[in-house]
């Protein structure tokens, strides 16, 4: 499959990913010491939801955000982490000139991280596609403590770790354009942990068929590193949807992040489900001793 960010901005997978990413960044910031946020496949940084999405063959796509973040507009009684996330999206819209409660823009993971950045933290954003890298560089040209690199994300892991801070949160969120993406991720994680064994590494992945996901999880057992995974399925296993859900795997997860993730998953499942059989889970792949 091809999961380029701008085709799916604000959809269910973005909501899931960015709520959990926000929780991870907040957890990293419980310590005063700064850290490097390294995004290996950063995309364009932010997205204009009013712009039509056109595929390379010229066909247009229906926007996906109404069935994603659109389902949270005006919502009340949400867990704190979801309110935190919605406030960040509102800040991003205000920053880009949206008026009132208008939802016109959506922040990608680079802007989620930048809006939370402390003076002692840094961002390194990798993007290989020239058009996306140019847009990303324009987005952050005037932002302090942010570096954009036109580089393959897996090469970026080798080039930027370990950082001077000796602390890092790495997000690996590739477009899954090739069948060997899971193998590339596993190799990239091995490289990252060799350079910084304590790095917190988060990997987003689509759930299209259970066998591939299980094989990916199994391949990571050899790393012998504490590993937690969370998954959200918006439909049951018999659904005809090509992508039934998505997951986030976290190596070296911060203390008690599993509890924080479990607190938001039921709400995400109920708000974002599209068919019967929707489910959400958070469990340990390799328990933290």
SS3 content of the chain, % helix, strand, coil (to 5): 40, 20, 40
pLDDT at 215: 93
**Six-digit token string for 250:** 């976290």
Handedness of CA 202, 208, 210, 212 (dihedral sign): negative
Give kind and range of the element (H or E) at residue 61. strand 60-61
Q: Using CA atoms, how far apart are residues 158 and 170, in angstroms rounded to an integer?
A: 12
Contact 204, 40 (CB under 8 A): no
Contact 61, 53 (CB under 8 A): yes
Q: What is the CA radius of gyration of the chain?
A: 18
pLDDT at 63: 87
Of these residues, 14, 39, 173, 258, which one is catalytic? 173
| Angle made by CA atoms 158, 255, 232, in degrees to the nearest 5 | 80
pLDDT tens sequence across 149-206: 999 999 999 999 999 999 999 999 999 988 899 999 999 999 999 999 999 999 999 9
Confidence of residue 55 (pLDDT cuts 50, 70, 90): low
Which CATH number applies to 5-286: 3.40.50.150, 3.40.30.10, 3.40.50.300, 3.40.80.10? 3.40.50.150
> 74-108 burial by CB neighbour count: b if 16+ within 10 A, else e?
eeeeebebbeebbebbeebbeeeebeeeebebbbb
pLDDT tens sequence across 219-271: 999 999 999 999 999 999 889 898 999 999 999 999 999 999 999 999 999 99
For residue 173, indicate whether it is catalytic.
yes
Handedness of CA 127, 128, 129, 131 (dihedral sign): positive
Q: Is the pLDDT of residue 1 over 80?
A: no
Q: To which residue do tokens 């590739």 refer?
A: 174
Q: Say how many Å lie between the first and final Cα of the chain, rounded.
A: 36
Domain ranges of the chain: 5-286
Confidence of residue 3 (pLDDT cuts 50, 70, 90): very low
pLDDT tens sequence across 110-155: 999 999 999 999 999 999 999 999 999 999 998 999 999 999 999 9
pLDDT at 5: 57
pLDDT at 62: 82
Give pTM, 2 decimals.
0.94
Q: What is the mean pLDDT of residues 62-68?
A: 91
Query: For the purposes of burial, counting CB atoms within 10 Å of the CB of 139, is it exposed (0-12), middle (13-18) or buried (19 or more)?
Result: buried
Q: To which residue do tokens 């496949």 refer?
A: 41
């Amino acid at each position: 499959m091809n999961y380029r960010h701008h085709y799916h901005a604000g959809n269910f997978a973005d909501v899931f990913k960015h709520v959990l990413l926000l929780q991870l960044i907040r957890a990293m910031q419980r310590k005063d010491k700064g850290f490097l946020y390294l995004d290996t496949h950063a995309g364009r940084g932010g997205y204009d939801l009013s712009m039509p999405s056109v595929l390379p063959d010229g066909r247009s796509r229906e926007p996906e955000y109404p069935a994603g973040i659109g389902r949270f507009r005006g919502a009340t009684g949400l867990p704190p982490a979801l309110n935190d996330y919605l406030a960040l999206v509102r800040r991003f819209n205000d920053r880009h000139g949206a008026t009132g409660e208008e939802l016109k823009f959506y922040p990608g993971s680079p802007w989620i991280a930048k809006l939370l950045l402390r003076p002692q933290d840094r961002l390194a954003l990798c993007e290989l596609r020239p058009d996306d890298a140019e847009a990303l560089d324009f987005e952050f040209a005037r932002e302090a403590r942010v570096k954009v690199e036109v580089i393959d994300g897996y090469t970026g892991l080798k080039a930027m770790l370990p950082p001077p801070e000796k602390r890092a949160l790495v997000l690996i969120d590739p477009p899954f354009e090739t069948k060997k993406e899971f193998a590339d991720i596993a190799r990239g994680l091995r490289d990252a942990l060799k350079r910084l064994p304590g790095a917190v590494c988060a990997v987003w992945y689509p759930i299209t068929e259970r066998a591939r996901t299980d094989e990916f999880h199994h391949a990571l057992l050899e790393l012998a590193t504490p590993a937690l995974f969370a998954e959200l399925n918006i439909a049951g296993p018999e659904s005809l949807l090509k992508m039934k859900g998505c997951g986030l795997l976290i190596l070296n997860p911060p203390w008690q992040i599993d509890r924080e993730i479990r607190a938001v998953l039921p709400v995400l499942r109920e708000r974002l489900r599209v068919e019967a059989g929707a489910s959400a889970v958070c469990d340990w792949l390799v328990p933290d001793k």
